[in-house]
Chains A and B, each alone.
Chain A
Amino acid sequence: AQSVSQHNHHVILSEAASLELGCNYSYGGTVNLFWYVQYPGQHLQLLLKYFSGDPLVKGIKGFEAEFIKSKFSFNLRKPSVQWSDTAEYFCAVGDSGTYKYIFGTGTRLKVLA
């Protein structure tokens, strides 16, 4: 069955700390991977996406993610977080044809000023 796992449910960091959020997927078809962010009180917006090619993808606001096929992972990273990165982050795998997503359970990140 298709699934996405995010093992870190809550993460607390101080400003300037480095961030890595884990995402593992189980999917039998062509892998299309996404990270979305939901800032407090706002709707979800796309951070970055991976379809093929260079496994290191860069997104908005200094975020990047690395696709490691052998580990079925697509971890999100940021070298130095800011207070404004406080949000909930969702990893998703997309189904070719319908473009529907399967989301992970999300990781709540709190950045302390």
Chain B
Amino acid sequence: NAGVTQTPKFRVLKTGQSMTLLCAQDMNHEYMYWYRQDPGMGLRLIHYSVGEGTTAKGEVPDGYNVSRLKKQNFLLGLESAAPSQTSVYFCASSTAWTQYFGPGTRLLVL
């Protein structure tokens, strides 16, 4: 049981480039979440999903898109990266209240 995995672990982008972060869970969880973690700001919810094929906006959705085509995967896309999107991105999944977090993706946008 791998739990929640995230790909890639680290990435450097230039301003304007695009990329997709992949989150995968093998626990058959309905709910999945994407957060960003910035110093002094804690974790902020970007987007979330309450089931396959559904997505919704969180606190800080601007500049990001998501898709949940398969129950086990939750993709986070940056269409045109900006330096303000430099952050650590965490994915989480849950069946109910306890969220299980992935190891994070460190993204640097130059």
> In the complex, are the beta carbons of B94 and A99 less than 8 A apart?
yes
A43 surroundings in chain B (CB, below 8 A): 4, 90, 101-104
Chain B: interface residue total (CB-CB under 8 A): 26
> In the complex, are the beta carbons of B98 and A9 less than 8 A apart?
no
> In the complex, are the beta carbons of B97 and A105 less than 8 A apart?
no
Residues of A1-33 whose CB lies within 8 A of B: 6, 9, 32
Interface secondary structure of A, over-half rule: loop
- Give the segment of B44-52, B65-73, B77-85 that binds chain A: B44-52
> In the complex, are the beta carbons of B43 and A100 less than 8 A apart?
no
Chain A: interface residue total (CB-CB under 8 A): 22
A102 surroundings in chain B (CB, below 8 A): 45, 59
Partner of B43, one of A32, A46, A51, A90: A90
> In the complex, are the beta carbons of B98 and A49 less than 8 A apart?
yes
Partner of A100, one of B4, B45, B90: B45
Nearest to B44 among chain A residues (CB) is A103
> In the complex, are the beta carbons of B40 and A99 less than 8 A apart?
no
Tell me, in angstroms, the Cα distance from A16 to B15 when the chains sit together.
48
> In the complex, are the beta carbons of B42 and A106 less than 8 A apart?
yes
Tell me, in angstroms, the Cα distance from A105 to B43 when the chains sit together.
7
Nearest to A44 among chain B residues (CB) is B101
Within the complex, the shortest CB–CB distance from B4 to chain A, in Å, comes to 8
Tell me, in angstroms, the Cα distance from A32 to B94 when the chains sit together.
15
> In the complex, are the beta carbons of A32 and B97 less than 8 A apart?
yes
Partner of B45, one of A9, A32, A101, A105: A101
> In the complex, are the beta carbons of A103 and B99 less than 8 A apart?
no
Residues of A within 8 A of B (CB): 6, 9, 32, 34, 42-46, 49, 51, 90, 94, 98-106
